[in-house]
Amino acid sequence: MLAQISMEQASFGLQAALLLQVLWAMALGALVGWERERYDKPAGLRTHMLVAAAGALIAGISSELVLEAGFGDPTRGIHAIVTGIGFLGAGAILRPRKGPVGGLTTAATVFFTACLGVAVASGFGLAATVATVAAVLVLQYAGRLLPVHPPRLPDPEH
Selected residue with higher pLDDT from 138 and 147: 138
Give the number of other CB atoms < 10 A from CB of residue 126: 10
pLDDT band per the 50, 70, 90 thresholds, residue 3: very low
For 95-146, the pLDDT digits (tens) are 666 667 778 888 899 999 999 999 999 999 999 999 999 999 999 998 777 7
Residue 56 has pLDDT above 90, yes or no: yes
Predicted pLDDT at 31 = 97
The pTM assigned to this predicted structure is 0.81
> Poorest-confidence range of 37-46, 56-65, 142-151?
142-151
Residue 7 has pLDDT above 50, yes or no: no
Selected residue with higher pLDDT from 82 and 157: 82
Cβ atoms of 41 and 137 within 8 Å: the answer is no
Residue 158 has pLDDT above 80, yes or no: no
For 12-39, the pLDDT digits (tens) are 988 999 999 999 999 999 999 999 999 8
Residue 3: burial class (beta carbons within 10 Å; 0-12, 13-18, 19+): exposed
Residue 52 has pLDDT above 70, yes or no: yes
Residue 58 has pLDDT above 50, yes or no: yes
Cβ atoms of 38 and 52 within 8 Å: the answer is no
Phi first, then psi: what are they for 102, rounded to 5°? -125, 160
What span, in angstroms and rounded, lies between the C-alpha atoms of 119 and 103? 24
Cβ atoms of 103 and 114 within 8 Å: the answer is no
Residue 154 has pLDDT above 70, yes or no: no
What span, in angstroms and rounded, lies between the C-alpha atoms of 94 and 16? 40
Radius of gyration of the chain (CA): 19
Mean pLDDT of 51-67: 90
What span, in angstroms and rounded, lies between the C-alpha atoms of 13 and 111? 29
Integer angstrom CA distances of residue 150 from 3, 34, 37, 98, 146 = 60, 30, 27, 17, 12
**Is the four-CA dihedral 37, 42, 45, 48 of positive or negative sign?**
negative
**Separate counts of helices (H) and strands (E) for the chain:** 6, 0
Residue 102, helix vs strand vs coil: strand
